[in-house]
């Protein structure tokens, strides 16, 4: 089969040996990075939208072009579906159109997490669909579960769905959340319609796709 995307290559053969120590450190250390001005401006757009349109929040983190955000907005018409990506170039490639419950923000996800947490806002469902896995072992702290802002994401509550074409990444994420007291399920992504363009590309390239899902706290297991 001719592939459009190469498989993930890493010098890790399993979960990073420093993962547990790093996660424990982050869980007991406050995240202190100052919030960038453009991220405050992006968050103000979200706040204004919530005032105009109060609704449960569904967040599509690292949303790229917003293709997945648009699909999720159609699937969950009773939610405010917000896609966040730091790249203006990627967001500019959004297919256009949309629904009245869709919002795209150019911002760093961790700064939005910080502001949501500061206002004690809760998220109904988080989607993290194929974020950059940073496969080199030395880049563990650049992965979502190795970053100092992970406790902020967990503070926002809600169900969490993460997908990747790198099994180790999904396993590490599951281990990190287990250390934080969240229980979830890891499984192969089935053959349903792809949510994101990355998922479609990786599936067409013959990659195995993996998912971690943690149900909303105090809700039935998935």
- Tell me the CATH number at 162: 3.40.50.150
Residue 89 lies in a domain: yes
Residue 2 lies in a domain: no
Low-confidence ranges of the chain (pLDDT < 70): 1-3, 95-98, 218-222
Count of the separate structural domains present in the chain: 1
Per-residue pLDDT tens for 166-196? 999 999 999 999 999 999 999 999 877 789 9
- Whole domain around residue 155: which residue ranges? 19-28+36-214
| 215, 221 contact by CB (below 8 A) | yes
pLDDT at 99: 79
Residue 76 lies in a domain: yes
Three-state DSSP class for residue 60: strand
The token pair at 45 is: 């757009």
The angle that helices 19-27 and 167-179 make with each other, rounded to 10 degrees, is: 40
Residue 90 lies in a domain: yes
pLDDT at 97: 64
Residue 142 lies in a domain: yes
Residue 1 lies in a domain: no
State if pTM tops 0.85: yes
| 88, 42 contact by CB (below 8 A) | no
Residue 221 lies in a domain: no
Residue 13 lies in a domain: no
């Amino acid at each position: 089969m001719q592939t459009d995307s190469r498989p993930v290559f890493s010098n890790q053969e399993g979960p990073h040996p420093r993962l547990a120590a790093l996660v424990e450190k982050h869980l007991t250390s406050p995240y202190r990075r100052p919030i960038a001005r453009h991220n405050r401006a992006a968050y103000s757009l979200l706040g204004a939208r919530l005032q105009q349109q109060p609704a449960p929040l569904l967040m599509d983190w690292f949303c790229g072009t917003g293709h997945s955000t648009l699909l999720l907005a159609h699937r969950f018409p009773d939610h405010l579906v917000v896609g966040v990506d730091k790249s203006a170039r990627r967001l500019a490639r959004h297919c256009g159109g949309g629904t009245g419950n869709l919002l795209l923000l150019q911002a760093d996800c961790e700064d939005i997490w910080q502001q949501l947490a500061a206002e004690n806002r809760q998220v109904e469902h988080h989607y993290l669909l194929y974020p950059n896995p940073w496969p080199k072992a030395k880049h563990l702290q650049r992965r979502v579960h190795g970053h100092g802002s992970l406790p902020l994401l967990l503070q926002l509550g809600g169900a969490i769905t993460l997908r990747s074409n790198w099994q180790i990444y999904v396993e590490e994420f599951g281990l990190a959340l287990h250390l934080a007291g969240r229980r979830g399920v890891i499984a192969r992504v089935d053959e349903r319609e792809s949510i994101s363009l990355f998922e479609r590309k990786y599936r067409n390239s013959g990659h195995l796709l993996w998912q971690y899902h943690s149900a909303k706290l105090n809700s039935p297991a998935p």
